[in-house]
């Protein structure tokens, strides 16, 4: 399922930001990358299509994320499904 | 995906995100030393650049191809436009290729069914329709044509059929911006560019919602704010949107009254003596409508201009527009302050307007009058909705009155230039403009015996069955005329293909070579990266193959004056390459051949383009692109300004070198406010506005097939103000019937949703082909641009079922459209 490289633009006080970071660290789908000034790079590895939308919405509702931008999306599993070409390792005989 | 592969993909995702976070923080695209997603170790994925397929922003993506399929998308770190970021549509763009119902073979209507046919037969049918009467054959395209595709279609119609009946759906989208630029500067397209967004202190949104429609550009502004830059956003609109949430000032105006607001600002600037007198005296002239009205209008002096504005006092403007006097004075104060840099942005709100040309010229006029022009950050800038509305529709000139490079079919010298470049006999290019969009479809829907002299329309890369206004009158009526024939090239079944006589399957995006031109004059190039499905073929090939079929059948128009084929392509050894045969089409780069020919036109009006290979190297270049003494090619960011535009003479500071008055001056127009052609009344008491949503691109033919986007916004809806809903006894989620004098639609109510229309106003997006709002919209159009007004007409709504009976919100909604009930 899709894997995303996301950039979160953070806002708010440092203690508020820390709450978001704590929540993100606890999410097994998330790998945190470097924080460049107010911009945090992370990887979101989803299990189902459309999962990233709920993740982004949760980020926005946290009150400490000004914006979520997408830098990378790999959807080769979805393409395989769409074109009827699932790969053997996903569906072992 | 196995674990090793997944780990690798995660690494790639982190590299791209890290690079994007750094490059954005550094305020610039791409820097040496940053991780580059395209440069990581080989995992069998091949990466190459392409501009995004969707809107006119012109973001570049890196396309990852594996096993002959697009499997990944990364924002391009080297792209100045998007600086390593993408919007929700952009990162899904690769999935647009893989809807399950791609068209794969030509289909011919037989009664109520379609029969697969060969390309050979399809080309014969097209040739026969041309031979039936070339003057009645039209092509309807769009700003989704690549530049070479549009150029080929343009040459086919104007050089081959000598009839000029070619127009793009860009007519529905940005034609008023074109006439606004022409009337003001004598030449089309913005003087500034996206760099203005990095420099402005004030951003004014004129009926514009970039947070949803051009999110990457808007995020560029918000990111500045996050870094501590002081940037004030002023939103002037008829409905609160996601953009409003980021604005310091929201000015809610009554529909159509933007003209009064613009005149009110100009009035205040002049009466207080705070306009830029030096700039105006040196670089501007004044203009007003002529009688009869014409695009150039008539000259007036400053005193006449001042007196014309006199009635637009703050009190009068408040009375017309509903904007409080304090807010109008605030706007005037901003323009009076020369220390600030002001960028105005607009898109459909000002263009889809029966006074579209007028309001475009007025906004340019405020910037000129106040001197907020030509410095980085000081710019009046229109945005486009399609990826090549500028590059193809405007620059190639696929409009009924234009030739490539801003030339006019009505001008004998311009026709002669085209005939020379195309090597045509003198007189081949017809001297009368063809039918613009509304006229073309009106003629197609009118019985032949009643003067409907368009018998065939060939549609490429657009969906008029969903986008034409007043659809019953301008589209459906043709389908009951037995001698009218509709040919449609597309990638998916659409509201247009479903009523076509002949359907041609097309390649899309990176299934073909291409070039786009974005909203800031940036010309972009990409190469074919995957094969199209089945028998789908490039639109450009379709045009060339149809031309060749006509040539082979002896049609004189497809020969140049030496008897050679109009689209003759030669190899370096001088041998003709049979590019009309699909198997030979990619034996050469047809795009390069066509672009190099087209490029000759670009130099005729200072829109110079570089050689094709320069675009292969770059992430786009903004014209005019001029060769430097060292042989390199330099783009232009700010036109008409001495510090950057190579065509401005040293010492002039500014030079509007295509001035309509031929004296280097730009025109400041007076245009009065006029009431809209249809307003709410007792029978239809509400304003209806239509538009777009962030998840879907235009008619949704691509994005509704991308599962995550479809799920995020599965159906259309109507936004209703809470108090109106209460008064009408309507609940959130309930099905209602919307009616206008032209049609009706049943859809679901959304109260306190994404947008917030004021009382007395409703909003419906147009992406959903199961709910065709264009059955209801007005076909009244601007007298100069011929662009219809999709933004306002009179409507009413009625409840049809209690909320408890309504189906679930994510599917199963049965929407209907038809003629309205009267009374």
Q: Residue ranges per domain, chain B?
A: 3-98, 108-173+388-459+473-499+537-605, 188-382, 686-818
pLDDT level of residue B770 (50, 70, 90 thresholds): very high
Residue B810 has pLDDT above 50, yes or no: no
| A17: pLDDT strictly greater than 90 | no
Question: Is residue B29 pLDDT above 60, yes or no?
Answer: no
**Mind listing the pLDDT tens digit for each residue in B304-342?**
999 999 999 999 999 999 999 999 999 999 999 999 999
DSSP-assigned letter for residue B160? I
State phi, psi for B616 to the nearest 5 degrees: -65, -35
pLDDT mean across residues, chain A: 81
Measured between beta carbons, which residues in chain B are less than 8 angstroms from residue A90? 1
B132: its two tokens? 């039936």
Task: Using pLDDT thresholds of 50, 70 and 90, give the confidence band for residue A15.
Answer: confident
Cis amide prior to B421 (ω within 30 degrees): no
Q: Is the pLDDT of residue B38 over 70?
A: no
Which residues have a Cβ under 8 Å from the Cβ of B337 and sit 6 or more positions away?
A: none
Q: What is the per-residue pLDDT for B788?
A: 93
Choice among B212-216, B303-307, B586-590, B618-622 with the minimum mean pLDDT: B212-216
Pick A76 or B293 by higher pLDDT.
Answer: B293
Provide the pLDDT for residue A2.
84
Residue pair B242/B209 in contact (Cβ under 8 Å)? The answer is yes
CA B481 to chain A, closest CA, distance in angstroms equals: 39
Predicted confidence at residue B702, as pLDDT, reads 95
In angstroms, how far is CA B296 from the centroid of its own chain?
Answer: 24
Two tokens at B405? 């490079």
Give, in degrees to the nearest 5, the angle at Cα B433 between B500 and B656: 120
Is residue B525 scored above 70 in pLDDT?
yes
Tokens of B775: 């059955």
B contacts of A72 (beta carbons < 8 Å): 12-13, 15-17, 37, 72-75, 91
pLDDT value for A92 = 29
**Average pLDDT of B166-174?**
94
pLDDT tens readout for residues B66-104: 999 999 999 888 999 998 888 889 989 999 999 999 999
pLDDT beyond 90 at B712: no
Of the listed ranges A65-79, B204-218, B355-369, the least confidently predicted one is: A65-79
> Among all residues of chain A, which has the CA nearest to that of B705?
A82
DSSP B774: G
- Integer Cα distance of B392 and B56 in angstroms: 11
Tokens 């395989």 correspond to A80
Lookup: tokens for B401:
């009155």
Residue A81: pLDDT band (50, 70, 90) is: low
Given this model, what pLDDT does residue A75 score? 86
Q: What is the mean pLDDT of residues B434-454?
A: 97
CA distance B28 to B23: 6
Of B474, B476, B506, nearest to B488 by C-alpha is B506
Q: Write out chain B residues lying below 8 Å of A35, CB-based.
A: 21
Query: B686-818 has which CATH code?
Result: 2.40.40.20
Band of residue A60 on the pLDDT scale cut at 50, 70, 90: confident
> So what's the pLDDT on residue B15?
87
- Looking at residue B820, the DSSP 8-state letter turns out to be P
Q: What's the whole-number mean pLDDT along residues B393-406?
A: 95
Nearest Cα of chain A lies from the Cα of B542 at a distance, in angstroms, of: 26
As a whole number of angstroms, the distance between CA B55 and CA B695 comes to: 12
Q: How far is the C-alpha of B192 from the C-alpha of B204, rounded, in Å?
A: 15
Angle (CA) B599-B601-B602 rounded to 5° is 65
Active site residues of B: 89, 173-174, 348, 385-386
Nearest CB partner across the interface for A76, out of B1, B86, B99: B1
Q: Region B261-282: what's the mean pLDDT?
A: 98
Contacts of A54 (CB under 8 A, 6+ apart): none
For residue B35, what pLDDT is reported?
40
What size, in residues, is chain B?
823
**Average pLDDT of B440-458?**
97
Best residue in A24, A45, A60, A70 for a mutation probing chain B (most B CBs within 10 Å) = A70
What pLDDT, on a 0 to 100 scale, did the predictor assign at position A25? 95
Chain A CB contacts of B70 under 8 Å are 79
- The topology under which CATH files domain A3-82 is Alpha-Beta Plaits (3.30.70)
* B10:A31 CB<8 A: yes
- Residue A41 β-bridge partners: A7
Better-scored residue on pLDDT, A12 or B10: B10
Find the residue in A nearest to B11 (Cα): A43
pLDDT of residue B818: 47
Q: What's the confidence (pLDDT) of residue B28?
A: 45
Residue B725: helix, strand or coil by DSSP? helix
What pLDDT sits at residue B766? 94
Considering only the beta carbons, identify the residue of B9, B17, B712 that sits closest to A71.
B17
The helix (run of H) or strand (run of E) holding residue B805 is: none
pLDDT given for residue B807 in this prediction: 42
Superfamily classification of domain B3-98: ADC-like domains (2.20.25.90)
| CB B354, CB B782: distance < 8 Å | yes
Q: Is the pLDDT of residue B815 over 50?
A: no
pLDDT single digits (tens) B221-246: 988 988 889 999 999 999 999 999 99
Nearest CA in chain B to A32: B14
Note the pLDDT of residue B418: 98
Residues of A in contact with B40 (CB under 8 A): none
Beta partners for residue B86, in sequence order: A70
Tell me the nearest-neighbour CA distance from B77 into chain A, angstroms.
Answer: 9
Rounded CA separation B549/B374 (Å):
50
Query: Could you tell me what percent of chain B has a pLDDT over 90?
Result: 87
Confidence bin at A85 (pLDDT 50/70/90): low
Each domain of chain A, given as residue ranges in start order, spans: 3-82
Please answer whether residues B160 and B479 qualify as being in contact, where contact means their C-beta atoms are separated by less than 8 angstroms. Answer: no
More confident residue, B211 or B809: B211
Which CATH number does B188-382 carry? 3.40.228.10
Contact B222 A66 (CB under 8 A): yes
Using an 8 Å CB-CB cutoff, list chain A residues near B73.
72-73, 75
CB B758 within 8 A of CB B721: yes
Supply the mean pLDDT for chain B.
93
Where b means 16+ CB within 10 Å and e means fewer, B85-111 reads bbbbbbbbbbbbbbbeebbebbbbeee
Q: What is the pLDDT of residues B174-194, one digit of tens each?
A: 999 999 999 999 999 999 999
Q: Which of A4, A72, A46 is nearest to B63 (CA)?
A: A72
CB neighbours of B38 closer than 8 A, spacing ≥ 6? B47, B48, B62, B74
Give mean pLDDT, residues B667-672. Answer: 98
Asked if residue A78 has pLDDT above 90, the reply is: no
Is residue B745 predicted with pLDDT exceeding 70?
A: yes
CA atoms within 13 A on the CB side of B380: 26
* Stretch B209-217: mean pLDDT: 93
Using a CB–CB cut-off of 8 Å, the residues of A that contact B are 2-7, 9, 11, 31, 33-43, 45, 49-50, 52-53, 66-67, 69-80, 82-83, 85, 87, 89-90
What's the 3-state SS for B55-104?
CCCCCEEEEEEECCEEEEEEECCCCCCCCCCECCCHHHHHHHHHCCCCCC
Chain B contact probe: residue of A9, A55, A71 with most B CBs at under 10 A: A71
Answer for the pair B58, B101: CB distance below 8 angstroms, yes or no. Answer: no
Residue B796's SS3 state is strand
Q: What is the pLDDT of residue B655?
A: 98
Picking from B240, B57, B99, B66, the residue whose alpha carbon sits closest to that of residue B709 is B99
For residue A6, the distance in angstroms to the closest alpha carbon of chain B comes to 5
Q: What are phi and psi of B694, to 5 degrees?
A: -65, -35
Q: What single string gives the DSSP state of each residue in B657-686?
A: TT-TTSSS-EEEEE------SS---SSS-E
Residue range B706-719: average pLDDT? 90
> Do B69 and A76 make contact, defined as CB atoms within 8 angstroms?
yes
Instruction: Give the separation between CA B680 and CA B675, rounded to whole angstroms.
Output: 12
Whether A74 and B86 lie within 8 Å, measured CB to CB: no
Residue B338 burial class via C-beta count within 10 angstroms: exposed 0-12, middle 13-18, buried 19 and up = middle
**8-state DSSP, B429:** S
Q: Which CATH class is domain B108-173+388-459+473-499+537-605?
A: alpha beta
Within 10 Å of residue A68's Cβ, how many Cβ atoms? 21
CB contact under 8 A, B711 and A50: yes
Q: What is the CB-side half-sphere exposure of residue B190 using CA atoms within 13 A?
A: 35
For B515, list phi and psi in degrees, rounded to 5: -145, 135
**Cross-chain Cβ contact A74/B227 below 8 Å:** no
CA angle, residues B753, B755, B757, in degrees to nearest 5? 105
What order of strands is seen across the sheet that includes strand B379-382? B249-252, B232-237, B202-206, B342-346, B379-382
pLDDT of B578 above 70? yes
Q: Rounded to an integer, what distance in angstroms lies between the CA atom of residue B565 and that of residue B37? A: 44
> What backbone phi and psi angles, to 5 degrees, belong to B779?
-100, 10
C-alpha–C-alpha distance, residues B460 and B141, integer Å: 5
Orientation angle between helical segments B539-552 and B147-154, nearest 10 degrees: 20
Residue B194 sits at the vertex; the CA angle it makes with B192 and B200, to the nearest 5 degrees, is 80
Angle in degrees, 0-180, between the axes of helices B314-321 and B258-271, rounded to the nearest 10: 170
Between strands A65-74 and B817-818, the pairing is unpaired
Question: Does the pLDDT at position A79 exceed 90?
Answer: no
């Amino acid at each position: 399922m899709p894997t995303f490289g996301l950039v979160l633009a953070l806002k708010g006080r440092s203690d508020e930001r820390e709450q978001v970071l704590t929540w993100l660290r606890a999410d097994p789908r998330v790998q945190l990358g470097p924080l460049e000034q107010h911009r945090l790079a992370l990887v979101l590895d989803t299990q189902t299509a459309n999962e990233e939308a709920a993740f982004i919405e949760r980020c926005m509702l946290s009150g400490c994320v000004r914006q979520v931008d997408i830098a990378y999306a790999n959807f080769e599993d979805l393409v395989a499904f769409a074109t009827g070409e699932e790969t053997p390792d996903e569906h072992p005989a | 995906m196995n674990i090793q592969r997944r780990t690798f993909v995660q690494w790639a995702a982190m590299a791209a995100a890290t690079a994007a976070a750094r490059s954005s923080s550094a305020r610039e695209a791409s820097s040496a030393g940053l991780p580059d997603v395209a440069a990581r170790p080989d995992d069998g994925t091949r990466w190459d650049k392409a501009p995004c397929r969707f809107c006119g922003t012109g973001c570049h993506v890196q396309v990852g191809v594996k096993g002959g399929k697009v499997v990944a998308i990364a924002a391009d770190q080297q792209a100045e436009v998007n600086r390593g970021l993408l919007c929700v549509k952009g990162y899904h763009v690769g999935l647009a290729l893989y809807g399950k119902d791609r068209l794969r073979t030509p289909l011919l209507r037989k009664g109520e069914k379609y029969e697969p046919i060969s390309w050979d037969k399809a080309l014969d049918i097209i040739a026969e329709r041309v031979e039936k009467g070339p003057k009645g054959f039209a092509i309807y395209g769009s700003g989704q044509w690549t530049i070479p595709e549009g150029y080929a279609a343009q040459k086919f119609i104007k050089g081959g059929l000598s009839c000029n009946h070619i127009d793009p759906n860009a007519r529905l989208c940005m034609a008023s911006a074109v006439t606004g630029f022409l009337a003001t500067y004598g030449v089309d397209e913005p003087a500034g560019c996206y760099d203005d967004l990095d420099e402005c202190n004030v951003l004014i949104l004129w009926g514009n919602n970039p947070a949803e429609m051009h999110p990457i550009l808007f995020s560029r502004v918000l990111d500045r704010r996050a870094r501590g830059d002081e940037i004030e956003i002023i939103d002037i609109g008829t409905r609160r949107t996601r953009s409003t949430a980021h604005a310091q000032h929201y000015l809610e105006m009554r529909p159509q009254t933007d003209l009064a607001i613009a005149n009110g600002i100009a009035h205040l600037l002049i009466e207080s003596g705070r306009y830029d007198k030096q700039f105006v005296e040196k670089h501007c002239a004044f203009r007003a409508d002529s009688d009869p009205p014409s695009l150039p209008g008539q000259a007036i002096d400053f005193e006449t201009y001042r007196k014309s504005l006199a009635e637009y006092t703050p009190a009068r403007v408040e009375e017309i527009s509903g904007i409080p006097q304090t807010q109008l004075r605030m706007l005037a104060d901003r323009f009076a302050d020369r220390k600030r840099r002001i960028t105005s942005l607009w898109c459909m709100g000002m263009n889809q307007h029966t006074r579209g040309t007028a309001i475009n010229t007025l906004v340019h006029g405020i910037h000129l009058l106040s001197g907020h022009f030509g410095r980085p950050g000081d710019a009046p800038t229109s945005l486009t909705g399609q990826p090549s509305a500028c590059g193809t529709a405007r620059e190639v000139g696929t409009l009924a009155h234009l030739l490539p490079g801003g030339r006019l079919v009505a001008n004998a010298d311009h026709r002669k230039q085209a005939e020379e470049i195309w090597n045509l006999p003198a007189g081949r290019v017809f001297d009368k403009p063809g039918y613009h969009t509304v006229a073309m479809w009106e003629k197609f829907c009118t019985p032949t015996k009643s003067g409907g002299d368009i018998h065939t329309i060939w549609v490429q890369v657009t969906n008029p069955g969903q986008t034409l206004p007043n659809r019953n009158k301008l589209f459906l009526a043709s389908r009951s005329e037995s001698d009218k024939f509709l040919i449609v090239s597309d990638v998916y079944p659409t509201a247009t293909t479903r009523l076509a006589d002949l359907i041609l399957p097309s390649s899309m995006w990176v299934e073909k070579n291409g070039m786009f031109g974005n909203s800031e004059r940036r010309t972009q190039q990409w190469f074919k990266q995957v094969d199209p499905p089945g028998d789908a073929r490039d639109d450009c090939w379709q045009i060339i193959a149809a031309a060749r079929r006509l040539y082979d059948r002896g049609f004189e128009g497809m020969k140049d004056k030496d008897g050679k084929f109009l689209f003759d392509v030669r190899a370096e050894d001088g041998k003709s390459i049979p590019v009309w045969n699909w198997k030979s089409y990619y034996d050469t780069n047809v795009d390069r051949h066509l672009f190099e020919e087209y490029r000759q036109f670009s130099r005729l009006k200072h829109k110079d383009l570089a050689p094709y290979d320069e675009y292969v190297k770059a992430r786009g270049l903004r014209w005019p692109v001029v060769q430097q003494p060292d042989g390199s090619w330099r783009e232009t960011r700010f036109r008409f300004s001495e510090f950057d535009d190579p065509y401005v003479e040293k010492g002039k500071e500014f030079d509007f070198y295509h001035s309509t008055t031929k004296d280097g001056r730009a025109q400041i127009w007076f245009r009065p406010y006029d009431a809209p052609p249809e307003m709410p009344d007792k029978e239809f008491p509400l304003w209806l506005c239509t538009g777009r949503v962030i998840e879907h691109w235009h008619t949704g033919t691509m994005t509704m097939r991308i599962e995550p986007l479809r799920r995020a916004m599965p159906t259309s809806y109507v936004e209703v103000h809470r108090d109106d809903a209460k008064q009408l006894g309507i609940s959130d989620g309930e099905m209602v019937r919307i009616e206008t004098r032209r049609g009706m639609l049943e859809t679901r109510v959304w109260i306190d949703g994404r947008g917030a229309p004021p009382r007395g106003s409703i909003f419906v997006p147009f992406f959903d082909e199961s709910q065709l709002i264009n059955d209801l919209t007005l076909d009244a159009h601007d007298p100069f641009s011929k662009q219809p007004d999709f933004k306002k007409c009179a409507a009413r709504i009625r409840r049809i079922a209690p909320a408890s009976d309504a189906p679930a919100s994510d599917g199963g909604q049965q929407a209907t459209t038809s003629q309205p009930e009267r009374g």
